[in-house]
Amino acid sequence: MKNPQVLVIMGSDSDLPVMEETSKILKQFGVTFEMRVSSAHRSPQRTAELAAGAAKREVKVIIAAAGMAAHLAGVIAAETTLPVIGVPIGGGPLNGVDALYAMVQMPGGIPVATMAIGKAGAKNAGILAVQMLALANPGLAEQLSAYKSQLSEEVAEKDAALQVKLTAGISS
């Protein structure tokens, strides 16, 4: 895509099943995005070029997903002034905790907004990117408000269904 609003970079194509959660959210809100594979360790120059060139392509937010040592988000944050959201990917002997620590323990001056490990984190990365974009887009802000209202309604519906089951169980 020529001018995506969000650039999603994964350390490996094996991260795609998790990062599909991000793409679902971005699509739901009509946010344009591009997904790329680039490694902080295996292709550092490519990664630096993607990060450094993102602002010139009018990207507004970068989401970086990686597992294991997970230096991708930090390397990207070092090469850009754009907000970077990190998504730790589970797996390896530490089940993603190493990736979480690598992202969240950045040195002062190189911030990475770090999400939860795995699919919930990938979904939240998409939502956080939308929230950032909504600061300058009232239509997107309205969509977010409706989304949050729907989440609340879904909880109320689940509670009502539970109450019906409990009442049926008690009266039987």
Q: Is 15 annotated as a binding residue?
A: yes
Residue 122: which residues within 8 A CB-CB, separation 6 or more? 18, 19, 20, 21, 22, 65, 87, 115
Judge whether 74 and 103 are in contact, CB under 8 Å. yes
Q: Is 149 annotated as a binding residue?
A: no
Q: Is 57 annotated as a binding residue?
A: no
Binding-site annotation, residues for substrate:
12, 15, 42
Binding-site annotation, residues:
12, 15, 42
